[in-house]
Structure 1
Amino acid sequence: MNFRNGAIAVSAAALCSVGFAPHAVAAPPLAPAEPAKAPSDEAQPEPDDEIIVTANKRAESILDVAGAINAFRGEDLLKNGATSIADFAGQTPGLQFNAGYSTGTPVIRGINTGADFGQAVGITVDGAPVGPSSSFQSGGASSLDLDPIDLERVEILKGPQGTVYGANSLAGLVSYTLREPDLQSPTAIMRASLSGIEHGGTSHSERAAVSVPLVTDRLAVRVSGFHDRRAGFIDNRITNATDQNEWRSYGVQGSILFKPTDRLRIFAAGFYQKQNQYAQDQVLYAADRTPRDGDLVYNDYLVPSTNRKTRLALGKIDYDLDFAELTSVTSHQHLDSNFVVPQNSGTLNFIFVNVLPLLGGVAIPAPGLLSNDTLNDTRKFTQEIRLASSGDGPLSWLVGGYYTHERSRQEQAVNARTTSGDLVSQINPTLRVTIPTTLTEYSAFGNLTYEFSPEFDVTGGVRVGRIDQVNRTLLGGSNADAYRLFFVVNGLGDGPPADTGAQKGSKTIATWLATARYHFSSDGMVFARFATGFRPGGPNFPVPGLAPVYDPDQTYNYELGIKTKFWDGRGSLDVTGYYLKWKDFLAFASAGGLNGLANAGDARVYGVEAGATLRPVDGFSLSGTLAFSDSKITRVDPAAGIAQVGDTLPYNPRWSGSLSAEYRARVDSRWQAAVRGTARFTGSRNSSPQSSLGFPNYVLPAYSLFDLHAGLESDRVDIDLFVKSITDKRAQLAAFTQLGINQITVQQPRTIGAAVTFKY
């Protein structure tokens, strides 16, 4: 194999598989950050315990959750170098990842339109919602990834979670739980990795964390940091750039845990992270789905890029009142992102280069290069207080209140650029649209569970909230007057005003939950669940022909499932069938040459998600997932015109799945060998509804990916060798087609590397 820039090469014969599996029922623990006991003289069997999750804002076994949920331990993600949602999406049935612009979009059960502006999948950190609620901040394209060294676990809740988690969880939720400082003893962990990308360069990463008790059992602190540098692998023959899509990410975190009494726990944490991708992992593809300029080549003067900063501070207080647990979760976050979309072709380029100069606008210097630069800045405060009942009686309950205040600003600028990518400062921005937005939400929620017998119980829940939004749209730039005149000349009205003034929108909305579960054995449960979710509406862009205020879109989910263990705990099975209705889904729509938001229609999705694990002999385990999904748009608003009845939802393959295998064996009194492998399959997907005009559909072909790892583990050191994407297939992950060309996000080529972890 050929590696550039001195990348390491490791003999493939020396590598065996390492993968990781989602834990839906029984979850074998992974290598702990704290010292582990030395291996015994026999191969180590997988322990028979379950992950404890907080999906319902109570600590409970994953086996007891009446809903579809997958969970990953932070140690598992760390061991396998999984640093993003995309890394474990392939092993979570029902979860796909649209790796288009910015940091990408998680898609659960197909609930997306291919160009999502607002979050449809909620993201929380220790219960605090993260990300903008407003649809004007591109929150749907900027998912949060946390470094695994800081994580206790990640939970993926599938189906709407509006009753417990509120807005923007109409498809599901990704819940991060941070690792807390250790109150008993000091611990430390450090991991470093080095790898080479075929057709690319050398990647490396470094991360470390230290936890120290200041007062044993009462006060402890933890600090951590990470740095990832992934090499590029896409060339540009026009600019002579090699491996132009290099990616860097770094961050720091600090936390404190204070337990002054046995009744009171105070946890506070803060982190900062920055992500830069100098060019997206995109290649230009022709209509026949072959690379236009050659394999792993993107030939153009301008290329898409993105960067993002995340700052978050949170505090969590738990107090035991005997009859109930009182919890307060407070957070403040500052998020800003900037992504650049080349506009070297398409309608916008034609208008600005060829038409506006005739109407008194500025001339764009040859060769007429433009970019659309989008800056999003969000500052958000959240506060939740809840009370959860304690005790063993047949009746249990949870009540709470939630408040958030969000101030955000989006600025979209059309800029002229030189062939070297520099801004033409004297005329820029040629057009600038600025949208400051304020969003405030107040809500109250509660659920009630009654246990008719030790085997059977039912739960009902409701959440009622009010969301108030105010925004305004400001238009400026050297071509603003010519742009407005363009509308007049074409009989499209007076064009957008320089300042729309304050536009307001308010809505009170309720979400509902009902579940029933029956434990047919100590290790088995069947459940039924009904739940609803929503994404906020709000005041629209000032587009003639579109409603001045758009309504929330809502989901209604019905599911049946079974979770069970068998063969004395050596096997587990989790199967869920669901039917989901999506009402008044939000989408970009055009009227008179302008884009705005519209409630574009209704859709439905039904499917089955399954996961299984099996340990036939001590030391050997198998796990697999399988998902089937069928989606269809059932009603369209002709005024929106983004789809037709019968179109399918994008990024929703009919079939997807994964298979993992692991074998562990004793080497000597200190070391244990671990060998694992993972295969994952994703069927063909549409990038847009088939009838979409603004974002023409591109059919992404099916693909299969295989990863292999092998390692040695001890109580102090882990050594890991790996090969990712063994077959070096050029999987097509996402498509951006708005400019009349197919910008395709491709899978990172075959990667070979090694990692070492030191634990104390």
Structure 2
Amino acid sequence: MNGLKRTTLKKTRLALMLAAGVSMLPISAVVMTPAAAQESADGEQGDDVIVVSARRREESLQDVPLAVTAVSGEDLDDIGAVDITDVQRLTPNATIEVARGSNSTLVAFIRGVGQQDPLWGFEPGVGVYVDDIYIARPQGAVLDIFDVERIEVLRGPQGTLYGRNTIGGAIKYVTRDLNLEEPEFRARVNVGSYGQFDQILSGSVPLSDTFAVGGAIANYKRDGFGQNLNTGADHYNKDLISGRLNALWRPSDSFQLEFSYDSTQDDSNAKHGHRLLPSATGTIPVTDDEYDTRAGIGDDNKVETEGYSLTAEWTVSDALTLKYIGAHRESSTVTPIDFDALPQADFDVPAFYDDSSDSHELQALFQTGPFSGVAGIYYLDGEASGAFDVILSALGLTIYQGGYQVKENLSAYADVTWAINEQWDLSVGGRLTQDDTTADVLREAWLGLGSGSFDPSNATSVFLATQTGYEGLTRSDEEFTPRVSVSYRPVDDLTLYASYAEGFKAGGFDPRAREDLDPLGLSEEGFGPETVESFEFGAKGRTMDNRLTYAATIFMADYTDQQITVQQGADSDNDGTNDTFVSSVFNAGASTYKGLELEGSLAATDRLTLTGVLGYIDAEIDEILSGGVNIADQFVTQNTPELSARLGFNYLYPLANGSELGFNGAASYRDDYYLFNVENDGFGAGENAIFPNGGPALDPEAYTLFDLSATWTSADDRWRLGIYGRNLTDERYRVAAYNFVTPSQLGADSAYSTFYGAPRTVTGSIEFRY
């Protein structure tokens, strides 16, 4: 009955929210997008039109025959966006969240395709790019919003236009260009709830007619939303500094070089879970506040990322431009993870991760007669490693896990558009990918708390056995993925398109594999690649004297051999007790994802703009064969709510002195969804010997967030004051969880805890621009 009530409630709330939008808008304008709101009301494409580079050339968002959500830096400022995860609210069928137990690791899903586990042996399903530079690992990928021109989110398989092949989609973070004509400067200070105090500086200066330098630095400070009741430290706090340096040399109109360097250090305290069950003895109760924890492993946490890139562009002729993009990136993470979220070391995991990558890309952009397009070669050489101890004090055991992976990717791609006439375009593209993986996997059992392999100074623990000793595992995956699309413009203000695209993600090796529990050697073979065949039909247009802009997309994707990770307890010494854990990675046979996406914007008056987004997806795992039996009904799709929606408004009020007041508000809704590939709706009484009274569900329920902001901009656009209220109803909504609860698993208390999005916050800001 509780599940039925939750379902009824969520549908009622969504219906009320959408009904409110329908009451204000014509039926064709139920949903709108912030990017579309940039189109000028008189139909002219002026300076305020969102221009995207999704197809490697500058185009108005409304003319691109792709499912793209683009949000300008100004729009992100207006809504008080904090980091890249805020784009989730503006993008249909997207989940973009901070990973569990982390402050800066990204989990991204688009149309049901992504990667939940950020461990070093897995590749993300959604690619993240900063100025065309691929971010190979999710650690440090929760990018803060500063010095940004726009963010583009491309939905569906990508790979025929640029960069690394990504099976689910791509998120492009585009920074501001340097100005060769005059100096620019911005300074901003934010002060807000929980002791927030941010300082952001950015600017550029031309040193000559051909050379300019610039940079940005941002320092973010905030107290915790909660507290570690065991140590007294802030919990969910923020302590981060990030900087960027740029240089641009343009000796002629046909050639330029741009160099960029960025660095981020995140010293925010470790983020532990809110335990949903008391300790096994009942002596330690559940905390009252969702943001509090009683973790005992410690609070010190450090994430460092840095990278540099060089981009060279040579316009050979009006018909041909050559471009080279080279980059090096690296990151390091040292973090304690307290799975049991209790003072004792019953399931504590100190861990570190390191990664680095070098990438090189050569592009040729061409246009001759009715033909235009891009062709390129992309190469990535990346390595990732890590290690952690699983400390099980109740059992007196420690499991050490370490590994190393090298990923080498070589790809060739091309995409050509033929403008058949003024109404019809045909685009054909393809990508040939060669992906080579080499991996080491080491797993050991130690008697005592902590291992000598993770901490060489530990002289008290005794080595028991090597459970996994793989060295030099290799696999090679190769795939050709085509793309074809056709677009039709029956009138100037309407673009219809249809496309077919294939996506591919290479296989790999489970970094938690158990060799001694795998007599057939299946983990030594690794898990295979996954593929997607995606069909998409879309319409983009303007109507009502160009006051209404809209985009509608229908899609269907056949997902084959989806890589699924299931973690579970295991009996390491055959005594009938699940005293360690293993993960099993396998390829599901078949899944089907289909849905609808609507985005739109209505200039209701000269001052009032209404915006909206709606995403619907029906995601099903159709076939998983085990011993010839289809067990797909035992699995669900993760991080993919069936419904997501946003209704917003922007009202501008000019003042007599030429300055302007702006008001911005929105309601953002997300349906309930699953965090894992196995549903967790709680466990009932008697199902667990440790917790005989059962436990609550872990998966998030449906929720709605309400935001409201007000800004004042001076007549000369130099000064800007703002106040931003976010999650005004103080909704406590889950975004991640740990679930290791079976009889006698992993010691006395195991793990059953959740992580939450930010509570109600109010931020005031003052900004000066020159």
**TM above 0.5, one fold?**
yes
After TM superposition, list the pairs within 5 Å mapping 1:607-646 onto structure 2: 607-638=595-626, 644-645=632-633
The structure 2 residue matched to 1:295, chosen from 286, 289, 298, is: 289
CA contact (8 A) 1:589 1:640 kept: no
Deviations 1:608-647 (A, max 9, x none): 0111101121111110111111111111142799973374
Residue 276 of structure 2 corresponds to which residue in structure 1? 285
Residue 314 of structure 1 corresponds to which residue in structure 2? 309
Residue 406 of structure 1 corresponds to which residue in structure 2? 382
Classify 1:401/1:632 alpha carbon distance in 2 versus 1 (closer, same or farther; 3 Å). Answer: same
Residue 557 of structure 1 corresponds to which residue in structure 2? 534
Deviations 1:635-667 (A, max 9, x none): 114279997337431221111111111111111
CA contact (8 A) 1:581 1:602 kept: yes
State the Cα distance separating 1:176 from its structure 2 match: 1.4
Code of the residue aligned with 1:91 in structure 2: it is L
Code of the residue aligned with 2:254 in structure 1: it is R
SS at match of 2:730: coil
Tell me, yes or no, if structure 1 residue 231 matches structure 2 residue 223: yes
Residue 432 of structure 1 corresponds to which residue in structure 2? 400
Code of the residue aligned with 2:268 in structure 1: it is Q
Residue 704 of structure 1 corresponds to which residue in structure 2? 704
Residue 659 of structure 1 corresponds to which residue in structure 2? 647
Q: C-alpha distance in 2, partners of 1:335/1:22?
A: 35
Q: C-alpha distance in 2, partners of 1:597/1:345?
A: 26
State the Cα distance separating 1:372 from its structure 2 match: 1.5
Classify 1:563/1:82 alpha carbon distance in 2 versus 1 (closer, same or farther; 3 Å). Answer: same
CA contact (8 A) 1:500 1:542 kept: no
The structure 2 residue matched to 1:338, chosen from 312, 327, 334, is: 334
After TM superposition, list the pairs within 5 Å mapping 1:446-457 onto structure 2: 446-457=414-425
State the Cα distance separating 1:304 from its structure 2 match: 8.0
Classify 1:705/1:371 alpha carbon distance in 2 versus 1 (closer, same or farther; 3 Å). Answer: same
Q: C-alpha distance in 2, partners of 1:583/1:165?
A: 24
Residue 744 of structure 1 corresponds to which residue in structure 2? 754
Deviations 1:495-523 (A, max 9, x none): 75564221111111111111110112222
Tell me, yes or no, if structure 1 residue 383 matches structure 2 residue 360: yes
Code of the residue aligned with 2:130 in structure 1: it is V
The structure 2 residue matched to 1:118, chosen from 123, 127, 130, is: 123
Number of paired residues? 670
State the Cα distance separating 1:98 from its structure 2 match: 3.9
Tell me, yes or no, if structure 1 residue 89 matches structure 2 residue 74: no
Residue 62 of structure 1 corresponds to which residue in structure 2? 61
CA contact (8 A) 1:206 1:227 kept: yes
State the Cα distance separating 1:602 from its structure 2 match: 2.3
SS at match of 1:502: strand
Residue 243 of structure 2 corresponds to which residue in structure 1? 252
Residue 484 of structure 2 corresponds to which residue in structure 1? 514
State the Cα distance separating 1:444 from its structure 2 match: 0.8
Q: C-alpha distance in 1, partners of 2:268/2:357?
A: 25
Q: C-alpha distance in 2, partners of 1:333/1:640?
A: 45
Residue 728 of structure 1 corresponds to which residue in structure 2? 730
Classify 1:588/1:49 alpha carbon distance in 2 versus 1 (closer, same or farther; 3 Å). Answer: same
Q: C-alpha distance in 2, partners of 1:24/1:618?
A: 17
Q: C-alpha distance in 2, partners of 1:482/1:378?
A: 24
Q: C-alpha distance in 1, partners of 2:270/2:697?
A: 23
State the Cα distance separating 1:28 from its structure 2 match: 5.3
Classify 1:640/1:758 alpha carbon distance in 2 versus 1 (closer, same or farther; 3 Å). Answer: farther
CA contact (8 A) 2:164 2:378 kept: no
State the Cα distance separating 1:542 from its structure 2 match: 5.5
State the Cα distance separating 1:231 from its structure 2 match: 2.0
CA contact (8 A) 2:681 2:698 kept: no
State the Cα distance separating 1:691 from its structure 2 match: 5.2
After TM superposition, list the pairs within 5 Å mapping 1:663-678 onto structure 2: 663-678=651-666
Q: C-alpha distance in 2, partners of 1:690/1:472?
A: 28
Code of the residue aligned with 1:562 in structure 2: it is A
State the Cα distance separating 1:211 from its structure 2 match: 0.6
Deviations 1:672-694 (A, max 9, x none): 11111111011111222345899
State the Cα distance separating 1:278 from its structure 2 match: 1.2
Q: C-alpha distance in 2, partners of 1:193/1:378?
A: 33
Classify 1:613/1:286 alpha carbon distance in 2 versus 1 (closer, same or farther; 3 Å). Answer: farther
CA contact (8 A) 1:589 1:641 kept: no
Q: C-alpha distance in 1, partners of 2:338/2:483?
A: 44
CA contact (8 A) 2:161 2:413 kept: yes
Q: C-alpha distance in 2, partners of 1:333/1:72?
A: 26
CA contact (8 A) 1:161 1:533 kept: yes
SS at match of 1:301: coil
After TM superposition, list the pairs within 5 Å mapping 1:22-171 onto structure 2: 22-27=33-38, 49-101=48-100, 102=102, 103-112=105-114, 114-115=116-117, 117-132=122-137, 139=138, 142=139, 144-165=141-162, 167=164, 169-171=166-168
Segment of structure 1 superposing worse, 578-587 or 664-673 = 664-673
CA contact (8 A) 2:389 2:450 kept: no
Q: C-alpha distance in 1, partners of 2:331/2:230?
A: 34
Q: C-alpha distance in 2, partners of 1:590/1:237?
A: 29
Q: Give aligned-pair identity as a percent.
A: 23
After TM superposition, list the pairs within 5 Å mapping 1:525-604 onto structure 2: 525-540=495-510, 541=513, 543=515, 544=518, 545=520, 546-547=522-523, 548-589=525-566, 594-604=582-592
Q: C-alpha distance in 2, partners of 1:343/1:571?
A: 50
Code of the residue aligned with 1:659 in structure 2: it is L
State the Cα distance separating 1:292 from its structure 2 match: 3.5
Code of the residue aligned with 1:252 in structure 2: it is G
State the Cα distance separating 1:587 from its structure 2 match: 2.1
The structure whose RCO (Cα within 8 Å, separation 6+) is larger is 1
Deviations 1:241-289 (A, max 9, x none): 26422122211110011111110021111100122331427423359xx
Code of the residue aligned with 1:188 in structure 2: it is F
Unaligned runs of 5+ in 2: 1-30, 279-284, 452-463, 572-581, 684-695, 742-749
Classify 1:265/1:405 alpha carbon distance in 2 versus 1 (closer, same or farther; 3 Å). Answer: same
SS at match of 2:180: coil
TM-score (norm 1): 0.82
SS at match of 1:153: strand
SS at match of 2:75: helix
State the Cα distance separating 1:605 from its structure 2 match: 1.0
Segment of structure 1 superposing worse, 518-527 or 325-334 = 518-527
CA contact (8 A) 2:270 2:336 kept: no
Q: C-alpha distance in 2, partners of 1:194/1:55?
A: 35
Code of the residue aligned with 1:553 in structure 2: it is E
SS at match of 1:260: strand
Q: C-alpha distance in 2, partners of 1:237/1:172?
A: 40
SS at match of 1:149: coil
Code of the residue aligned with 1:658 in structure 2: it is R
Classify 1:91/1:389 alpha carbon distance in 2 versus 1 (closer, same or farther; 3 Å). Answer: same
Q: C-alpha distance in 2, partners of 1:328/1:125?
A: 15
SS at match of 2:296: coil
Code of the residue aligned with 1:371 in structure 2: it is D
SS at match of 1:564: strand
Classify 1:590/1:225 alpha carbon distance in 2 versus 1 (closer, same or farther; 3 Å). Answer: closer
State the Cα distance separating 1:373 from its structure 2 match: 2.5
Classify 1:177/1:98 alpha carbon distance in 2 versus 1 (closer, same or farther; 3 Å). Answer: closer
TM-score (norm 2): 0.81
CA contact (8 A) 2:35 2:71 kept: no
Q: C-alpha distance in 1, partners of 2:238/2:740?
A: 24
CA contact (8 A) 2:412 2:432 kept: yes
Classify 1:573/1:281 alpha carbon distance in 2 versus 1 (closer, same or farther; 3 Å). Answer: farther
CA contact (8 A) 2:391 2:449 kept: no
Deviations 1:378-409 (A, max 9, x none): 11000000101124x12223211111111221
SS at match of 2:252: coil
Code of the residue aligned with 1:85 in structure 2: it is I
Classify 1:551/1:633 alpha carbon distance in 2 versus 1 (closer, same or farther; 3 Å). Answer: same
